[in-house]
Chain A
Amino acid sequence: MTEKKGNIEIKNVSKVYPNGTVGLKDINLNIKQGEFVMIVGLSGSGKSTLLRSINRLHDVTDGEILIDGQDITKATGNKLHKIRRSTAMIFQNYNLVKTSSVYRNVMSGRVGYYPAWKAALGLFTKEDQEMVKTNLARVNLLDKYYVKARDLSGGQQQRVGIARAMMQEPSVILADEPVSGLDPKTTKLVMNDLKKLNEEDGMTIILNVHSIGLALKYSSRIVGLKEGRIIYDKPIAEVDKRDFKEIYREAGDDSSVEAGNDVEED
């Protein structure tokens, strides 16, 4: 394949949890390389389920998910690991090893590239050690190289998470509420880091948020979920703020829309 990587095709995907809860219902979504898709929806609408199906942290019940043409829902073993390597994930609670250094945490993004015994002995190549420095510098944390992850602030930990994701050299980044729990200023830092990856490196980004304001500001496309179904899907140019009143009203909650209005533009 000569075309750029980072295309995702979700076809007729449904997910029912073992306890009978419907997570996703007949999802069809075509995401092209370089898009910055934000997924909005109420709590429990299936945002995390969708994201986690894309890298198969969850198995879907039905349908297929093609990542650059390869169906991850049926991949096993090495093939599955390779696909996952190309789709990095960023987590709401950062998921760093708290007692390890920032260096070690960032390096762990290369997990899929080293046989276990080599990693155990810390036999990382010169290039990869340089790559750690480069990626830490990109998120402005090079000075924290030796610091233990638990001694960093939430925002710093999340940016270490981003540096770790970059170590995978992914074509897709999946981010599940990466900025919940961060203050507005730190949120901006993290979102700008992601924006840079999207614009400069052409990575496809799929990001779950609760804040409509953030979605309006950063995304190139907004997808709305409700009870496991897609009920909204528009490129940013066609999005009207009033649309969200529609999405959220039924739950009797439009505070997110209000919050969206006071995010300053620059």
Chain B
Amino acid sequence: MKQSIPKRPMMKEWHVIGFTIFLLLVFAVILSAQATGVGQDFSSEQFFDLWAKMANPDWSYIPDIITPLLQTIQMAIVGTLIGCVAAIPVALVSASNIVRNPYVRGVVRFIMNLVRSIPEMLLAALFVAVVGIGALSGVCALSVFSFGMMFKLLYEAIETVDQGPIEAMRAAGGNRNQVIVFAVIPQVLNQYLSFFLYTLEINVRASAVLGYLGAGGIGLYLNTTLEMFRYDRTAVVILGILVVVVLVDALSNKLREALS
């Protein structure tokens, strides 16, 4: 046998580039930690006090957090629903296989990218300022967030559908809406439901914390128990959130498996 695998150049053989980048990253982490002063005013006393109290949860607090926990889930569901439904037409308009005009698509995508670039917590803070303290501002924040997220997932799904049925429906005399109903929706429906559940999962987590900013739900209790140094109750709140998140994730995963 004369043939053999050609020898790689030295640089590649020893992964020089990858290794250099790794070293640079480590260096950057150390530098930025020093610059920002991470870990300078750390009090180990307070830290251990927190853990000691958290280790003995105040179980009698459970009945108090049931209602806000349910409210958190409700907020997540309503927010996800509003955002995900609103995302449908916008995603369609952004998909290059539905709307041919690149300018229309470009403008819509640009606006949507702006929307998506606002972090969820900032949205919540904004809505608390505008709408006022309460669940409504939480729902608003979650809606806008879901809107941005579903938009991106959905328009990418739409752009990758099989073009064949779309062409067939055009050839059969369908106008744009008819083509969408007959050729696009059937192809993305399962993905859409799956994205919906995924968004819901994220929103349940997020809405648990939103209350911290006054946007309703269990987060408020997180805030108050911490402020009153009732870490034994904080522990119950955190456990409650944990249970809800795990349950919702498990349910959503099961459903998504069934969908695929």
Which residues from chain A sit less than 8 Å from chain B, CB to CB? 55, 57, 77-78, 81-89, 91, 93-100, 104, 108-109, 111-112, 114-116, 119-120, 161, 164-165, 168, 174
Contact = CB atoms under 8 A, between A and B. Distances in A.
B106 interface: no
Contacts of A100: 186
B175 A81 contact: yes
Contact of B177 (A84, A96, A116): A116
A111 B164 contact: no
Closest 7 CB pairs of A and B: A85-B173, A112-B173, A95-B164, A116-B177, A84-B173, A111-B174, A95-B168
B173 A57 contact: no
Contacts of A120: 181, 185
Contacts of A109: 172
A116 B162 contact: no
Contacts of A97: 162, 165, 182-183, 186-187
Contact of B172 (A85, A94, A104): A85
B187 A57 contact: no
Nearest to A52: B171
B50 interface: no
A187 to B, nearest CB: 20
A119 B178 CA distance: 8
Interface residues of B, number: 23
A89 B168 contact: yes
A96 B165 CA distance: 5
B113 interface: no
Nearest to B179: A111
Contacts of B179: 111
Contact of A119 (B165, B173, B182, B187): B182
B164 A116 contact: no
Given A55-B171, A111-B174, A119-B178, 6 more contacts: A81-B174, A85-B172, A100-B186, A111-B172, A116-B177, A119-B182
Nearest to B177: A116
B167 interface: yes
A84 B172 contact: yes
Interface in B139-192: 162, 164-165, 167-175, 177-183, 185-187, 190
B186 A112 contact: no
Contacts of A99: 186-187, 190
Contacts of A114: 178
A111 B180 contact: no
